[in-house]
């Protein structure tokens, strides 16, 4: 199995297991549809495979418990080095 597929499978497995745990521990939401408790944050370490090498990378994931959509929090420095970037990267479930 090639490395990009293995990375995708590892990430999806992590998200699926985290989602199952979160749904089991999901707190009660309001009946008015306000969505309290809809989004859960999970701090986890996942394995990324790059150029034949595996690395452990800690990250924060946001999971929409209603739709199952997941995002990974990305933080870093701009390429020109003049500022920081912080955003939620959608995890595609292809």
Task: Write out pLDDT tens, residues 54-76.
Answer: 999 899 999 999 999 999 999 88
11 or 1, which is more confident?
11
Contact by Cβ (8 Å): 20, 40: no
Give the mean model confidence (pLDDT) for residues 9-26. 62
CA 56 – CA 20 distance, rounded (Å): 22
**CB-based burial of residue 34 (10 Å sphere; 0-12 exposed, 13-18 middle, 19+ buried)?**
exposed
Strands 70-77 and 53-64, bridge-based pairing: antiparallel
Contact by Cβ (8 Å): 37, 27: yes
pLDDT score recorded for residue 83: 87
Q: What is the mean pLDDT of the chain?
A: 77
Q: How confident is residue 2, by pLDDT bands cut at 50, 70 and 90? A: low
């Amino acid at each position: 199995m090639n490395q990009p597929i293995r990375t995708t499978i590892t990430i999806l497995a992590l998200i699926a297991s985290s989602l199952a745990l979160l749904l089991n521990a999901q707190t009660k939401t309001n009946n008015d549809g306000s969505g309290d408790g809809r989004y859960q944050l999970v701090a986890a370490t996942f394995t990324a495979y790059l150029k034949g090498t595996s690395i452990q990378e800690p990250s924060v994931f946001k999971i929409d418990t209603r739709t199952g959509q997941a995002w990974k929090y990305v933080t870093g420095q701009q390429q020109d080095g003049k500022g920081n970037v912080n955003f939620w990267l959608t995890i595609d479930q292809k």
